Amino acid sequence: MRGATIVDRITESLLDEFTKEHEISHLPEEKRFEHFSSFITVRRHYGESFDTEDIVVGSGGDTSIDGIAIIVNAVLVTDVEMFSEMAQQATYLDVTFIFVQAERSANFDGAKISSIGLGVLDFFSDTPRLRRNESISAAAEIMSAIFAHSSKFKRSNPTCKIYYVTTGKWVGDSDLEARRKHVIEDLENTGNFSEVDFTAIDAATVQKYYRETKNAIAADFVFANNAVIPDIPGVTQAYLGFLPFSEFLKLVQNEDREMKGGLFYDNVRDWLAYNEVNTEIKTTLNSPNRSRFVLMNNGITVISRTVQPTGNKFHLEDYQIVNGCQTTHVLFDNKDVLDDSVMVPLRLIGAQDEAVINDVIKATNRQTEVRKEQLFALQEFPKELEIYFQTFPSSQRLYYERRDRQYDRSEIEKTRIVTPANLIRAFAAMFLKEPHRTTRNYAALANKVGEEIFVKGHRHEPYYTAAFALYKLEYFFRSGRLESKYKPARFHILLALRILAVGDNLPRMNSHDMERCSKDLMGALWDTTKADELITRAASIVDLAAAGDFHRDRIRTEPFTKRIAELCQAEIARSLPK
**pLDDT, tens only, 421-439:** 899 999 999 999 999 988 7
Segment 376-384 mean pLDDT: 74
What is the mean predicted confidence (pLDDT) over 107-112? 92
Using CA atoms, how far apart are residues 95 and 73, in angstroms rounded to an integer? 7
Closest CA to 87 of 73, 68, 69, 70: 73
Question: What's the CA gap between 429 and 78, in Å, rounded?
Answer: 19
* Angstrom distance (rounded) from CA 24 to CA 295: 54
- Check residue 247 and give its pLDDT: 97
Residue 272 pLDDT class (50, 70, 90 cuts): low
d(CA 368, CA 372): 11
Question: Out of 208-212, 363-367, 408-412, which region has the weakest mean confidence (pLDDT)?
Answer: 363-367
Q: Is the pLDDT of residue 107 over 80?
A: yes
Average pLDDT over residues 216-234: 92
Neighbours of 163 (CB within 10 A): 25
Rounded Cα distance between 532 and 87, Å, is 38
* Burial of 394 from C-beta contacts in 10 A (0-12 / 13-18 / 19+): exposed
Report pLDDT for 216. 80
Return the SS3 of 343: strand
Partners of 259 in beta bridges = 253
Yes or no: say if 225 and 241 are a contact pair by the CB < 8 Å rule.
yes
Q: What is the pLDDT of residue 1?
A: 45
Task: Give the pLDDT of residue 100.
Answer: 97
Dihedral angle computed from the Cα positions of residues 14, 20, 21 and 22, in that order, rounded to the nearest 10 degrees? 100
Closest CA to 252 of 367, 338, 159, 189: 338
- The torsion region of residue 399 among left (phi > 0), alpha (psi -120 to 50) and beta comes to beta
557 pLDDT higher than 50: yes
Q: What is the SS3 assignment for 418?
A: strand
* pLDDT of amino acid 335: 93
Q: How far apart are CA 220 and CA 218, in angstroms?
A: 7
Report whether pLDDT(49) > 80.
Answer: yes
pLDDT at 267: 45
Q: What is the structure's pLDDT at 377?
A: 57
**Left if phi > 0, otherwise alpha if psi is -120 to 50, otherwise beta: which for 330?**
alpha
Instruction: Average the pLDDT over 545-551 and give the result.
Output: 86
* Residue 24 CB neighbour total at 10 angstroms: 19
User: Residue 255: left if φ>0, alpha if ψ -120 to 50, beta else—which one?
Assistant: alpha
Distance CA 316, CA 352 (A): 13
Which ranges of 391-447 would DSSP assign to H, the alpha helix? 420-431, 442-446
Q: How far is CA 98 from CA 123, 163, 510, in A?
A: 12, 8, 44
Q: What is the pLDDT of residues 171-186, one digit of tens each?
A: 889 999 999 999 999 9
Which pLDDT does position 365 carry in this prediction?
Answer: 64
Between CA 475 and CA 125 the distance in angstroms is 35
Across the chain, mean pLDDT equals 90
Question: For 127-137, what is the mean pLDDT?
Answer: 93
- Above 50 in pLDDT, residue 268? no
Mean pLDDT calculated for residue range 140-144: 97
Which tens digit of pLDDT belongs to each residue from 521-545? 999 999 999 999 999 999 999 999 9
CB count within 10 Å of CB 575 equals 9
Please report the pLDDT score of residue 404 as a whole number: 74
Which one is predicted more confidently, 385 or 255? 385
Q: Categorise residue 234: left if φ over 0, alpha if ψ from -120 to 50, beta otherwise.
A: left
Decide: 10 and 203 in contact? Cβ < 8 Å: yes
Res 476: pLDDT: 93
Report the DSSP pairing between strands 313-323 and 343-350: unpaired
Give the CA distances from residue 146 to residues 57, 85, 131, 164, 439, in Å, rounded to whole numbers and listed in that order.
19, 12, 22, 25, 17
